[in-house]
Amino acid sequence: MAACLAVPVLAIAWCLRCNVRFRLCVVGAHRFGHLALEPEMWLSNKALNPRKHGPVEVDIWSLGSRRIRSNSYLAELWSRRLRRPPSWVVGALVRAGEWVPPLALERPALSIHGPRNGLDRSPRQCPDAAPFSDRERRELFEQGFDVARPYAALVVRDSAYYAARGEKEDSHLALLNADLSDFIPACRLLAASEVQVVRLGGPSHQRLPEISGCLDYANSAVRSAELDVKLPMSCRFAIATQTGPDAVALLARRPVLYVNVLRFSQFFFGTELATWFPMRFVDAERQLPWSIFKLGSSQLLSAKDPREFAESGITFVRASADEVSALVADFVDELENGVDQQTIELRNKVNSALQQQMQPWGESRFGDIAARVSRQWLSINQAWWLANI
């Protein structure tokens, strides 16, 4: 019935098309990172390229039904900023457009990436979260965590997302997961230097040991939709394996160190907020790690499906726990003290090579590559990583 009533609405919009351009912006709200960054990137890129001529643009947003939203509080924040009718209204407009295709409203492809590097070049579009409440501060303090002190957000991807839904994770997806134990030395290092650590995410079988100054929020009794947003938004920086909450840190323009990057096609190459180092791609037969040049000539550079990696015959070697700890320490030192000209030149060399190898899809997805390879990782591995470029 609603779709039938929507057909005349589409007809009116069609008649107004010379003066008003209506669009349906449907967010992938069932995933936390997409709920955070799809509206942010769309609005940031529009702000960077304002329309000076042509019809007035009217974006009509959908954040999905309450049942599927990954975070109700983040959806509430976006509701203050976006023109958002009830989800059933947008659903009716979509179905009506499927029935009468000539009248269908445009549905732009939203993305967590953007070719204009909007995260670096525009202010945050999402409204501010409310300050930590007295209750939230007290409950976190009772857990040994003080939000008034500097802290790092730790985001480690594992199978908890699917387990919480009562589903079994496909074996090929496990390649994207990480072992929390690989981050324990880094947590101890940060805590010893007076930087607290809060481990974000959902309940997991992997648990953070008791370390003074470190909170396993993911497995705590204080978890809430509000804190799921406020904690990454207010961190000093994040350490992540690219899943969910790290996108909220980027949304708040917080620097993030991405550990053991595997899928280049899904990475945040378009922002200087991202510092990263890759897994080592090792030829199983020759036991040699791949250089950028070798990676650039492989289909794995643009691969999205983890199955392509799992079935490639390549061995993927992660940095050890001690290596991660040293790289985290170097990342923090850079945040505090900056880098020298030699590091800048090496990074530019890497980004220029990636820019060239990712054409044409990289340009449309990332724009200018701005993410920074870890200074220490690059210094240690440049002999083989930059071979032949």
Higher pLDDT, 150 or 286: 150
Which pLDDT score, from 0 to 100, does residue 172 have?
A: 75
In this structure, the answer to whether residues 273 and 353 fall within a common structural domain is yes
In this structure, the answer to whether residues 251 and 329 fall within a common structural domain is yes
Work out the pLDDT band at 387, boundaries 50, 70, 90. confident
Residue 287 gets which letter from DSSP?
-
Is residue 280 over pLDDT 90?
yes
In this structure, the answer to whether residues 52 and 145 fall within a common structural domain is no
For the sheet with 256-261, list strands across it.
Answer: 214-215, 196-199, 151-155, 237-240, 256-261, 274-278, 372-373
| Pairwise CA distance, residues 269 & 267, whole Å | 6
In this structure, the answer to whether residues 90 and 12 fall within a common structural domain is yes
Question: 0.85 cut: is pTM over it?
Answer: yes
Which pLDDT score, from 0 to 100, does residue 166 have?
A: 57
Range of the domain at 324: 138-385
| Pairwise CA distance, residues 143 & 267, whole Å | 33
Nearest to 29, CA basis, from 81, 68, 73: 68
Is residue 286 over pLDDT 90?
no
237, β-bridge pairs: 152
Is residue 163 over pLDDT 90?
no
CA angle, residues 72, 232, 268, in degrees to nearest 5: 100
In this structure, the answer to whether residues 190 and 292 fall within a common structural domain is yes
In this structure, the answer to whether residues 84 and 222 fall within a common structural domain is no
56, β-bridge pairs: 20
In this structure, the answer to whether residues 253 and 371 fall within a common structural domain is yes
Residues 6+ apart with CB under 8 A from 268: 112, 113, 242, 250, 256, 258, 274, 371
Report which secondary-structure segment, H or E, holds 176: none
Is residue 132 situated within a structural domain?
no
- Residue 114, class by beta-carbon neighbours within 10 Å (0-12 exposed, 13-18 middle, 19+ buried)? buried
Which pLDDT score, from 0 to 100, does residue 128 have?
A: 95
In this structure, the answer to whether residues 142 and 112 fall within a common structural domain is no
Tell me the residue length of the chain.
Answer: 389
Work out the pLDDT band at 161, boundaries 50, 70, 90. low
In this structure, the answer to whether residues 113 and 148 fall within a common structural domain is no
Looking at the structure of the chain, the number of domains it has is 2
Nearest to 64, CA basis, from 39, 93, 90, 96: 90
Is residue 126 situated within a structural domain?
no
Which of 121, 148, 163 lies at the terminal end of a domain, its last residue? 121
Is residue 36 situated within a structural domain?
yes
Is residue 130 situated within a structural domain?
no
Which pLDDT score, from 0 to 100, does residue 105 have?
A: 92
| The three-state (H, E, C) secondary structure of 60-103, written as one string | EEECCCCCCCCCHHHHHHHHCCCCCCCHHHHHHHHHHHHHCHHH
Which of 69, 88, 121 lies at the terminal end of a domain, its last residue? 121
| Pairwise CA distance, residues 87 & 65, whole Å | 6
In this structure, the answer to whether residues 160 and 248 fall within a common structural domain is yes
In this structure, the answer to whether residues 25 and 107 fall within a common structural domain is yes
Residues 6+ apart with CB under 8 A from 167: none
